[in-house]
Every structure is written in structure tokens, then in C-alpha cells.
């Protein structure tokens, strides 16, 4: 995965481990990342593998639900609810 480093992309992609991030509006950096993955199939495969593992562990339904319960619980506790 290649993405601009904006929004939540840097939470989903760990640069150099699960994908590659480039500065917003930096087309030269984007092109360099594309070239890197085209010319280094082993790196491309490793990033894809690690990205799938990371996504499965961190962004699965159970994990997201637990995070939401914690956020709501903290908000309720802070407001004595």
C-alpha cells in the first residue's frame, strides 16, 4: 500500500513495515515509492504480508468494538454517567 501521509493513513499504514507513506502533494515521492515496489518485488511482498497481519490484528471487528466501548466508557465516567 502506498498512501499520502494524511488523515488516518499513518494509523493504518506503518511506513516501511506495512506500506509506504509520502508527503501530501509530493508527486516525486509517490513516483519513487511506486518505482521502489516495482523494482523490489521482495519488499512489495513483505509489505503486503505485514500489512495483512497488521490489519487483521488491529482493525478487526472485535478490536474496534473494544476501542469504542472504552471511548464511551471513559466519556460516561468523565461525565458521571
- Residue numbers of the chain with a pLDDT score lower than 70: none
For residue 28, report the phi and psi dihedrals to the nearest 5 degrees. Answer: -70, -40
Give the three cell numbers for residue 35.
Answer: 518505482
Residue 41 confidence (pLDDT)? 97
Residue 20 confidence (pLDDT)? 98
pTM of the predicted structure, to 2 decimals: 0.77
Residue 59 confidence (pLDDT)? 83
The rounded distance, in Å, linking the Cα atoms of 51 and 45 is 10
Residue 2 confidence (pLDDT)? 97
Containing 27, the helix (H) or strand (E) segment is helix 27-39
Amino acid at each position: 500500500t502506498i498512501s499520502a501521509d494524511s488523515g488516518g493513513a499513518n494509523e493504518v499504514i506503518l511506513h516501511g513495515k506495512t506500506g509506504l507513506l509520502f508527503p501530501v502533494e509530493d508527486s516525486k515521492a509517490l513516483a519513487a515509492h511506486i518505482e521502489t515496489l516495482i523494482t523490489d518485488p521482495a519488499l512489495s511482498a513483505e509489505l503486503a504480508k505485514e500489512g495483512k497481519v497488521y490489519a487483521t490484528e488491529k482493525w478487526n471487528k472485535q478490536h474496534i468494538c473494544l476501542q469504542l466501548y472504552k471511548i464511551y466508557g471513559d466519556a460516561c465516567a468523565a461525565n458521571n454517567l
